[in-house]
Structure 1
Amino acid sequence: MSKQDVHYSDYLELDKILNAQFLESDKAGTHAHDEMLFIVIHQAYELWFKQLLFEADSVVDIMKQEILNDNSPELQTVEHRLSRMVTILKLLVQQIDVMETMTPMDFLDFRDLLRPASGFQSWQFKILEAKLGLRYQHRFGQEYYISQLRPAQVEMIKSVEAQKTLLELLNTWLERMPFFEEAGNWQDYQSQYPHQAEMHPFWSDYQQAYMNSLSNAEAAHKEQFSEVFFEKGAGQHLSAKASRAALFIMLYRGYPMLHLPFQVLNQLLEIDEQLSTWRYRHMSMVHRIIGTRIGTGGSTGKEYLKGALDKHYIFADIARLTSFLIERRHLPKLSVNVEKRLGFLQ
């Protein structure tokens, strides 16, 4: 059978997309010019949310494999798609600039006609947060979370919450780091400080070097070091073993074997930063447009958004690791065998 020619309009389903804007103000006979802008921007957001979910699903599918070679095209694909997600999120932040061309009085022309519709009903965004690792018990405003969604949307979110999140898969991936499990890698390691018997000699040295780097005002970090890297403190999502692996990647990212894993961690931090930037810009815009009034969906408006901004960091455990870095010149010198492994030499 011959292939039928593809037409631009048909391929993009433009008849459906371009005829999907119905103004509530027109239905009410009180045309509000800026309602078209409001609809188009939110439709664009939902399309980008769909793409973000598409990318996140592909990353999760790769990361949930029992064996993932860190020197493989698959990990490169993970890093590349996370980078794409960062770029999309930056675009979502920029779209707020367009939204802010609408003045408070422009919005009031149609705001009351939207009740009880609200951006809080964006089930795609909630699913994206859940896939990345934001669990229900860690959310701000749990009483609002699914209260305004349709039953089918609630079921979709619950189904996602029952699956492994990207944060949990990241923890499993980091725990697989082999360098500290193979005793032969450290036979020629030269300790810089007296070795603490219960610890690996590298971590014994690193802990002492870190303690030496602290000022008197940073005494609390001594306890935090043990909590994060050997005990898994309260509220911590990464295990102690995964935290040690992530810190090791950050410290020695200049070695070829660790460069790509470092980029993966860095992209996850970028995702958190862009989500936080978007929440902040959204909160500021809401305050500018409606002040302290209640949102159309019944939320507390700016106050809810501020709570989400403060609490909804997904990869905070990775960001926290920067508190435990030391200067390069004070890093423990790795064993010859480990250096060979990190340089792809067998």
Structure 2
Amino acid sequence: MQPNAVHYADYLELTKLLNAQHPESSKNGAPLAHDEMLFIIIHQTYELWFKQILFEVDSVLAIMHQPVLDDNAADMQTVVHRLKRVGTILKILVQQVDIIETMTPMDFLDFRDMLRPASGFQSWQFKILEAKLGMRFEDRHGKAYYTSQLYTAEITLIKEAENAPSLMMLLNRWLERMPFLTDLAAWTSDKSGSNNDTGFFATYEAIYTNSLAEAEKNNIAFFKETFYDEPKKNHRHLTATACRNALFIMLYRGYPLLELPFQLLETLLEIDHQLGNWRHRHINMVQRMIGTRIGTGGSTGAGYLKAAMDTHIIFKEIAQLNSFLVDRRKLPALPTEISIKLGYSF
């Protein structure tokens, strides 16, 4: 080998990596609990994947945090590509549950009590990921103690992530500046006498309202709250302007200019979906392993995980926009000048 050649084992630091498993059950000369090695490697793998996900999310945040985001450059393609990678990695995390479920409850009991108070609840990387995606402190389940078992340095990193612009915040800013708002404000079909800035949506609201079944009429108030009222403090992530623009992207996603923005919204929903799948599989695994017993970290076990699954839905406001879609055949045809701007230019 050349003196400066890279060797596989050195490049991957395999000596460190393969000697980073130290089962508690085999310390002090005790016999090894066989499945503890699997337990350690699975969770180390999770943390490595969390590191990669954070690496991807940080790069996306850096792009979207630019003072001016050039939608005509490759930036948004990069954002969508990397977020799709995050979604694919999350699918792998869900699949890894299949491996850990080869361990029976009795196998787990061979070493479980030796782990106290260690718990997956102490995964500070996962809490940072939630914060960077858009999970706010006030929206967390169990916020009174969610950092109580962490080291000071870990808590500091989480708080820094919570205080920095999240992906959800940057998405809101990006949606608010959708480029053809002036054209929509001057929508000539508007006969409602509403404010100029809601011309298209006054037209669309009438179409949507007429499409509702009698049992769905309460959705009309939800429509007005979502698309006309600005968020009350700690109530919503997305402003009314951002919601209107996101819905427009969903409605007219077939136009070339809106294809990539639509992929971005769909990818964020997929990330939420996979996070939900991971939590669901985790709940089932915990119930199978320990039943109704408390977790090693002191949480209520499966009960805590269920509550977190129902609460920690980061991009819920994007998903809720699907409530306001109508049959494609009922969509108003866009004026020629808008269609031209949304299409290919030669």
Q: Normalization by structure 2: what TM-score? A: 0.96
CA drift at 1:195: 2.7
More deviation, 132-141/25-34: 25-34
- What is aligned with 1:33? 34
- What is aligned with 2:212? 214
Indicate if the aligned counterparts of 1:144 and 1:299 stay in contact, CA closer than 8 A: no
Indicate if the aligned counterparts of 1:186 and 1:335 stay in contact, CA closer than 8 A: no
SS of the residue corresponding to residue 231 of structure 1 reads: coil
The 5 Å alignment of 1:56-205 reads: 56-180=57-181, 182-183=182-183, 189-191=187-189, 194-199=191-196, 200-205=198-203
CA drift at 1:203: 1.1
- 5+ residue gaps, structure 2, are none
SS of the residue corresponding to residue 333 of structure 2 reads: coil
Letter aligned with residue 222 of structure 1: I
**Matched residues in 2 for 1:283 and 1:316: separation?**
21
CA drift at 1:143: 2.0
**Matched residues in 2 for 1:179 and 1:246: separation?**
13
- 5+ residue gaps, structure 1, are none
**Matched residues in 2 for 1:284 and 1:71: separation?**
45
- What is aligned with 1:267? 267
CA drift at 1:201: 2.4
Letter aligned with residue 276 of structure 2: S
Task: Give per-residue Cα distances to partners, 1:2-54, cap 9 Å, x unaligned.
Answer: 87000000000000000101110000503200000000000000000000000
Indicate if the aligned counterparts of 2:231 and 2:238 stay in contact, CA closer than 8 A: no
CA drift at 1:236: 1.9
Query: What is the number of residues matched between the two proteins?
Result: 341
Letter aligned with residue 282 of structure 2: H
**Matched residues in 2 for 1:72 and 1:95: separation?**
37
Indicate if the aligned counterparts of 2:26 and 2:32 stay in contact, CA closer than 8 A: yes
Please provide the CA RMSD for this pair. Answer: 1.5
**Matched residues in 2 for 1:201 and 1:139: separation?**
37
**Matched residues in 2 for 1:71 and 1:85: separation?**
23
Letter aligned with residue 203 of structure 2: D
SS of the residue corresponding to residue 207 of structure 1 reads: helix
Indicate if the aligned counterparts of 2:265 and 2:318 stay in contact, CA closer than 8 A: yes
Letter aligned with residue 198 of structure 1: N
Bigger relative contact order, structure 1 or 2 (CA pairs below 8 A, ≥6 apart): 1
The 5 Å alignment of 1:293-312 reads: 293-312=293-312
Letter aligned with residue 212 of structure 1: N
CA drift at 1:190: 4.6
- What is aligned with 2:314? 314
Letter aligned with residue 85 of structure 2: R
**Structure 1 pair 110/205, CA: closer, same or farther in 2 (3 Å)?**
same
- What is aligned with 1:8? 8
**Matched residues in 1 for 2:308 and 2:185: separation?**
45
CA drift at 1:269: 0.3
**Matched residues in 1 for 2:239 and 2:71: separation?**
20
**Matched residues in 1 for 2:325 and 2:69: separation?**
27
CA drift at 1:72: 2.2
**Matched residues in 2 for 1:186 and 1:304: separation?**
47
**Matched residues in 2 for 1:260 and 1:119: separation?**
36
Indicate if the aligned counterparts of 1:238 and 1:317 stay in contact, CA closer than 8 A: yes
Task: Give per-residue Cα distances to partners, 1:244-285, cap 9 Å, x unaligned.
Answer: 010000000000000000000000000000000000100110
SS of the residue corresponding to residue 126 of structure 1 reads: helix
Indicate if the aligned counterparts of 1:202 and 1:332 stay in contact, CA closer than 8 A: no
Letter aligned with residue 216 of structure 2: E
Task: Give per-residue Cα distances to partners, 1:291-335, cap 9 Å, x unaligned.
Answer: 010100101100100010000000000000000001111111111
- Work out the percentage of aligned pairs sharing the same amino acid: 58
CA drift at 1:213: 0.3
**Matched residues in 2 for 1:155 and 1:194: separation?**
54
**Matched residues in 2 for 1:68 and 1:198: separation?**
29
Counterpart check, 1:231 vs 2:232: no
- What is aligned with 1:52? 53
- What is aligned with 2:289? 289
